[in-house]
Structure 1
């Protein structure tokens, strides 16, 4: 069984990465939504850009909020069932779904666009492409966190079951 120290270090490392990348995605998507609401969305696929960037804004707000709650809650109340396995799995699974929907659809929309080509470009084109990159990075970090939590769930099912176990598996 993994020790409490290993679990605490791995949790802190993974959820700090998730939190930092979510904060960056939150900043970029919020600035894009603010800019496009004031100056108008790109002339082609206006509703598509609006919807996809807003999905990523919701995903990054969700992940940032839960990342803060789970990171600091686990550090201070890690032995409590309130910060157990299911409490970690459900919000991270929702974050994964939100990010995957938003980033895959925005990637499909911007895949053929070259920001250097004046005829294809639009205002803040490179920032939209940057949002795609940081959102994929955040999605990968969330996959790593979900893998870590799933492994702990399989270890916990032998004892009390995943719904009543803390992350420490003692």
Structure 2
């Protein structure tokens, strides 16, 4: 049975990784949206880039906001119901789905594009490819975090029944 200390350390490490990747994705996607809104989106698949980069912007804002709230809240009030399993599972699942949709769709749009050959027709091509990479990294961190939370949920349910709702198993 995991101890309170092990859960607190695991939670801190996982959410720090998620937050770091989300903040990087937030910065990249926000600068891309600002740049393309000012200069215009790439001529090929314009609507595709607009929607996909904005989905990743929403995903990074969502994950950053809830990541900060859950990390700080859990450290201060870990035994409180407001920072329990359900309060962690719902926003992390939504963030995972948003990142998965955005990452997969932007990957499909950019996977055949060679930034060296695109020249001036696709400004910020390398930055878009960087957004794809950091978005997949954050998606992987979110899957690991979801596995951690689901494991804790099963441990808590098996040991304490349906009424156990905080992250602590002891």
Normalised to the residue count of structure 2, the TM-score between the two structures is 0.96
Q: Counterparts of 1:55-134 in structure 2 under 5 Å?
A: 55-118=55-118, 122-134=122-134
Structure 1 residue 120 displacement after superposition: 8.7
1:113 and 1:74 mapped to 2: Cα distance? 43
2:93 and 2:168 mapped to 1: Cα distance? 20
Structure 1 position 25 matched with structure 2 position 3: no
> For residue 165 of structure 1, what is the aligned residue in structure 2?
165
2:78–2:167 CA contact under 8 A, matched in 1: yes
Q: Count matched residues.
A: 169
- Shift of the 45–7 alpha-carbon distance from structure 1 to 2, 3 Å rule, reads same
Aligned residues: CA RMSD: 1.2
Normalised to the residue count of structure 1, the TM-score between the two structures is 0.96
2:164 and 2:34 mapped to 1: Cα distance? 43
> For residue 38 of structure 1, what is the aligned residue in structure 2?
38
1:114–1:120 CA contact under 8 A, matched in 2: no
Structure number with higher helix proportion: 2
Please identify runs of 4+ aligned residues in structure 1 that moved more than 3 A: 118-121
1:53–1:102 CA contact under 8 A, matched in 2: yes
Structure 2 portions without partners, runs of 5+: none
Structure 1 residue 121 displacement after superposition: 5.3
Structure 1 residue 160 displacement after superposition: 3.6
1:121 and 1:14 mapped to 2: Cα distance? 39
